Amino acid sequence: MTRVSRLRVRGIGAFNVLLGLATALGFGLASGWKARSSLTFNPVDLSASAPWHVGTLTLATAPADLVLGLVMVALGVELWIRVPTRGVMARFGGVAVVFFLALLLWAVRTTGPAPINFVNVTAVLVGASALTMVLIFGSLSGVLCERAGVVNIAIEGQFIGGAFVGSMVASTTHDFFFAAIAGGAVGGLLGLILAFLSLRYLSDQIIVGVVLVTMLSGLSSYLNLQVLTPFPQYNTGNLAPNLPIPLLTKIPVLGPVLFDQTGFFYLMILLVAVVSFGLFQTRWGLRVRAVGEHPQAAATVGIRVVGVRYANVILGGVVAGFGGVAFMASQGQFQPGYTSGLGYIALAALIFGRWRPSGAVVASIIFGLSLYLSYNLQTFQVPVSTEVLGMVPYLITIAVVSGLIGRVRPPAADGVPYRRD
Amino acid sequence: MRLELRGITKRFGPLTANDHIDLTVEPGQIHCLLGENGAGKSTLMNVVFGLLHPDEGEILVDGVPQRFANSGEAVRKGIGMVHQHFMLVPVFSVAENVVLGFEPTRSLGRLDRARAREEIRRTSQEFNLEVDPDAIVENLPVGLQQRVEILKALNHDAELLILDEPTAVLTPQEIDALMAIMRSLAASGKSILFISHKLKEVRAVSDVVTVIRQGRVIDQVPPTTDEATLASLMVGRDVTLTVAKDAAAPGEPVLRLEDVVVRDDRGLVAVDHVSLSVHAGEILALAGVQGNGQTELVEAVAGMRDVESGRITLGGRDITNATPRHVLDGGLGHIPEDRQRYGLVMSMTLADNLVLNTPRRAPFAARGTRNLGAVRANAEDLVGRFDIRTTSVESPLSALSGGNQQKVIVARELSRPLEVLVAAQPTRGLDVGSIEYVHRQIVEQRNEGLAVLIVSSELDEVMALGDRIAVMHAGQITGVVDPSTSREQIGLLMAGAVGAADA
């Protein structure tokens, strides 16, 4: 292992230690010894699917957060001393999860005789899963494009396009299958535009992507005003129904989070598996990665570089379009601007996840949780304004992408136009 | 395979890169294509390999005319190419690189890695080219990477192998190994087209030599032809192959490096505790295979790269981590390795390029305003003195040939008051005539008492110019030897055998 990546691992270790100390001091000691926090692990809807009553856990806030903080410190120290080569990201993910737990305990603390405020962990995870799902669609789209050497910064635009068209189709056909097809087609079409301009005319991929996002956000606002506002019947009642999987939903906590979900969630899981398998186990994947790493080498053995790039950018667009429809179906309707930069956070998750589907999943879970908590912590006694809380996920994104992960290596030809002599 | 080229012509706009080239490679023959840089060798090979389409002429494989739409088709017809810049994906394993484009698969399009490994093992045994199929290519030394390239071509059942300047990146020992491989491949019936401009190698390994110059076939000669004849065929006039110089009269040390450590772009140690001193009136030649830290060392001296630890002094003044401006003003002349990127601004005029590192200084500027008359006068003076061929001093630099561009840098640096000249690969890509010229200039400066540090990966150049030769391997100086040392011993030092020259 190079010294740089050793430094990086130690950096992550140091970050974990600092976060742990902040947790122990800020959440633990500052809570006062009388404070109690209650967490419940029951399903949100008790009547539907809960044979096992896991119940409510009431803890003394200060000692609990102190312990959690020390666990984080210990995990950080372990990274610093042992500098392992594998599982660094998993350890970091673990620390992040512990941090969120400590944050929740602190947020719901009460000093009264009986708990008046408690947080439902299952509900938090279920709530965050919708955002996480959208981020995973987005970062998978990024994986498909960037592994072939094209930067798709238009994911945000593909989300918007997919959400808009998905809402209209779902409202008129009352079928989310058709909505997904339509949204995927719009995303794919935007991918085609990006591919055409950047592969045929070698335009700057970043600029084309930003232009597409700007265009889509303007166009969707305009059409929203002209079509959806006067005819609200085209934009209502589009909350996708849950399709619970029998028995599995009854697993405590994880059951409702993973197995009582919409069709889009299951589609996301399927896509993660397929892309992961395809990229690393098949001939298709080997060729895609060769095109993204060294297009000239691919060309000399007869691989059609531009063709592979077209296919992947369009495919990536379709996946991002699905993400847009999935987001719309989790909100029930289309609203201008409500994707609020999710497409860009998905790109950050892609980088954080080192251009691997599995890494993107871990990163998306962390980002999804932090986004969800920033939207919802206001309901608890957190002495911070809503606006500042809303900034936190983006600050985490910047911290993660710039410093924490250090210099990661993207596909060598990522964003580099291919010219055939 | 019998490859026949008939009247191949390829034009790029007004330039005719290949002009009715006829060439036949017989089965089992090592056929050398000898020519200078820019003679049209690479264009011709790209035509044969299907990367370019000829404007006229035809390619016959075993008597059958072929048209290759792309290089994949050429590969399928049994033509394999080992490119000068390897066509290998650095992060892939050897096996993945070798089967790319021709992958064995199982159901669902899954890669059959076991079969790929087996195929490679069989091919490498058949041709005696040992390499671990699971090694990641970027971790392999350059010589082995080249072996993977050859293996890749053979695995695609190549009957004709094109080797494009294959020795440029190899140590002398690796070159010997490559030649042995070439001979055994030819003995097993493969045809080999060997592209080179290095006369020694051409004479050592070829069966037939075809010389091309300015896109035309000049002659076909046997490999027994002596070097001087080959050189004059290649250049078109008589050339002197050696540099005339007297014994050096070294004075005080001018440039000193003490225990210098520098990292490369990836953050790895590229210069590993190097100490060197260059004396006034001597040429210290730094030899070594490309990528062993020479580039980083020069960049650190020129102020273009951070020095992590150690000290660099110029005439007794500390220039460790000084800015390039400070270093240049302190009397260091720098001929950079990548001249088009670091030495020149191609879109600016010849006159402006000649004052590129002194634009603010009198007489070229005063009170924040440029004195264009002085810039022009300077340019006209230097064009005459250094024999720079141009239509006008106001021409953009991109209009000049590579040799003349290099003369511009040499003129600019040598016309300033210098204490030391650092020249990295000063003759790379130049024709023989320009090489002679640059060498003469460097020796002249050394005779006048300048300290000179030459960095070159061409062993011939190092041995011709150096008064002392320092050999660099993996960031360290493996030895400092006299130029009378044998090529073999310097080769061992280049491969990292510390102290081999003591034997």
**A286, A303, A407: residue with CB nearest B111:** A286
What is the pLDDT, as a whole number, of residue B322? 92
The predicted-structure confidence for B464-492, as pLDDT tens digits, reads as follows: 899 999 999 999 999 999 988 888 899 88
What is the pLDDT, as a whole number, of residue B503? 38
Residue A414 lies in a domain: no
Residue A404 CB neighbours (<10 A): 15
Alpha-carbon distance of B314 to B422, in angstroms, equals 12
Alpha-carbon distance of B17 to A345, in angstroms, equals 50
Query: Is B87 an interface residue toward A (CB < 8 Å)?
Result: yes
pTM as predicted? 0.81
- Same domain membership, residue A98 and residue A147: no
What is the pLDDT, as a whole number, of residue A162? 96
Alpha-carbon distance of B359 to B363, in angstroms, equals 9
Residue A421 lies in a domain: no
What is the pLDDT, as a whole number, of residue B499? 58
- Same domain membership, residue A236 and residue A107: no
Q: With left for phi above 0 and alpha for psi between -120 and 50, is residue B361 left, alpha or beta?
A: beta
Q: Please give the average per-residue pLDDT across A319-327, as a whole number.
A: 97
Domain boundary among A83, A116, A149: A116
Alpha-carbon distance of A266 to A259, in angstroms, equals 8
Residue A209: which domain range?
Answer: 128-404
Residue A3 has pLDDT above 50, yes or no: no
Residue A243 lies in a domain: yes
What mean pLDDT, rounded, does chain B reach? 89
Determine whether the interchain pair A301/B92 forms a contact, defined as Cβ–Cβ distance below 8 Å: no
Domain boundary among A87, A116, A145: A116
Residue B141 has pLDDT above 90, yes or no: no
Residue B236 has pLDDT above 60, yes or no: yes
Tokens of B145: 């990477």
Burial of residue A283 (number of CB atoms within 10 Å: 0-12, 13-18, 19+): buried
Alpha-carbon distance of A91 to A355, in angstroms, equals 19
What is the pLDDT, as a whole number, of residue A166? 95
Residue A102 has pLDDT above 70, yes or no: yes
Structural domains in chain B, sorted by start:
3-235 (3.40.50.300), 240-331+417-503 (3.40.50.300), 349-414 (no CATH)
Query: Is B386 an interface residue toward A (CB < 8 Å)?
Result: no
Query: Is B13 an interface residue toward A (CB < 8 Å)?
Result: no
Residue A181 lies in a domain: yes
Alpha-carbon distance of B71 to B52, in angstroms, equals 9
What percent of chain A has a predicted confidence (pLDDT) above 70? 90
- Same domain membership, residue A45 and residue A89: yes
Alpha-carbon distance of A174 to A241, in angstroms, equals 11
Residues of A in contact with B161 (CB under 8 A): none
- Same domain membership, residue A241 and residue A201: yes
Bond prior to A410 in cis (omega within 30° of 0): no
Residue A403 CB neighbours (<10 A): 11
The predicted-structure confidence for A219-252, as pLDDT tens digits, reads as follows: 999 999 999 999 988 888 788 888 888 888 877 7
Alpha-carbon distance of B72 to B93, in angstroms, equals 21
Please report how many Cα atoms fall inside a 13 Å half-sphere around the Cα of residue B421, on the Cβ side: 32
What percent of chain B has a predicted confidence (pLDDT) above 90? 53
Determine whether the interchain pair B109/A284 forms a contact, defined as Cβ–Cβ distance below 8 Å: yes
The predicted-structure confidence for B71-106, as pLDDT tens digits, reads as follows: 888 988 999 999 888 899 999 999 999 999 889 999
What is the pLDDT, as a whole number, of residue A131? 94
Nearest CA in chain A to B72: A302
Residue A2 has pLDDT above 50, yes or no: no
What is the pLDDT, as a whole number, of residue B36? 80
Residues of A in contact with B108 (CB under 8 A): 282
Alpha-carbon distance of A373 to A378, in angstroms, equals 9
Alpha-carbon distance of A43 to B481, in angstroms, equals 79
Residues of A in contact with B72 (CB under 8 A): 301-303
Least confident of A90-104, A111-125, A398-412, B45-59: A398-412
Residue B349: C-alpha distances to residues B9, B189, B396 (Å)? 33, 54, 4
> Across B249-362, where does the E strand assignment appear?
253-263, 269-279, 283-287, 307-314, 317-318, 332-335
- Same domain membership, residue A183 and residue A100: no
- Same domain membership, residue A282 and residue A143: yes
Residue A362 has pLDDT above 90, yes or no: no
**Of B433, B393, B386, which is closest to residue B411 (Cα–Cα)?**
B386
Residue A413 lies in a domain: no
| Amino acid in the structure at residue A313 | V
Determine whether the interchain pair A290/B111 forms a contact, defined as Cβ–Cβ distance below 8 Å: no
**A-proximal residues of B, 464-493, CB under 8 Å:** none
Measured between CA atoms, how close is A301 to chain B, in angstroms? 5
Residue B389: C-alpha distances to residues A58, B331, B400, B403, B404 (Å)? 87, 27, 8, 9, 6
What is the pLDDT, as a whole number, of residue A408? 65
| Chain centre to alpha carbon of residue B443 | 22
Residues of B in contact with A294 (CB under 8 A): 87-90
The predicted-structure confidence for B425-473, as pLDDT tens digits, reads as follows: 888 777 777 788 889 889 999 999 999 999 998 888 898 899 999 999 9
Number of domains in chain A: 2
- Same domain membership, residue A309 and residue A175: yes
Per-residue pLDDT band at A1 (split at 50, 70, 90): very low
Least confident of A41-55, A117-131, A194-208: A41-55
Per-residue pLDDT band at B502 (split at 50, 70, 90): very low
Residue A121 lies in a domain: no
Residue A32 has pLDDT above 90, yes or no: no
Tokens of B196: 């080179």
What is the pLDDT, as a whole number, of residue A412? 86
Q: Please give the average per-residue pLDDT across A277-293, as a whole number.
A: 96
Tokens of B427: 């003759």
- Same domain membership, residue A153 and residue A188: yes
The predicted-structure confidence for B395-404, as pLDDT tens digits, reads as follows: 898 888 777 8
Residue B493 has pLDDT above 50, yes or no: yes
Measured between CA atoms, how close is A408 to chain B, in angstroms? 11
- Same domain membership, residue A160 and residue A38: no
Least confident of A106-110, A331-335, B350-354, B421-425: A106-110
Determine whether the interchain pair B100/A290 forms a contact, defined as Cβ–Cβ distance below 8 Å: yes
**A-proximal residues of B, 151-190, CB under 8 Å:** 156
Residues of B in contact with A276 (CB under 8 A): none
Query: Is B88 an interface residue toward A (CB < 8 Å)?
Result: yes
The predicted-structure confidence for B290-310, as pLDDT tens digits, reads as follows: 888 999 999 999 999 999 999
Residues of B in contact with A284 (CB under 8 A): 109
- Same domain membership, residue A64 and residue A11: yes
Alpha-carbon distance of A5 to A393, in angstroms, equals 26
What is the pLDDT, as a whole number, of residue A267? 96
Domain boundary among A62, A85, A116: A116
Per-residue pLDDT band at B170 (split at 50, 70, 90): confident
Q: Which residue has the higher pLDDT, B128 or B254?
A: B254
Residue A265 lies in a domain: yes
What mean pLDDT, rounded, does chain A reach? 86
Q: A273: domain CATH number? A: 1.10.3470
What is the pLDDT, as a whole number, of residue A402? 61
Per-residue pLDDT band at A115 (split at 50, 70, 90): low
- Same domain membership, residue A220 and residue A105: no
Residue A418 lies in a domain: no
Residue B501 has pLDDT above 50, yes or no: no
What is the pLDDT, as a whole number, of residue A4? 46
- Same domain membership, residue A387 and residue A316: yes
Q: Please give the average per-residue pLDDT across A78-93, as a whole number.
A: 79
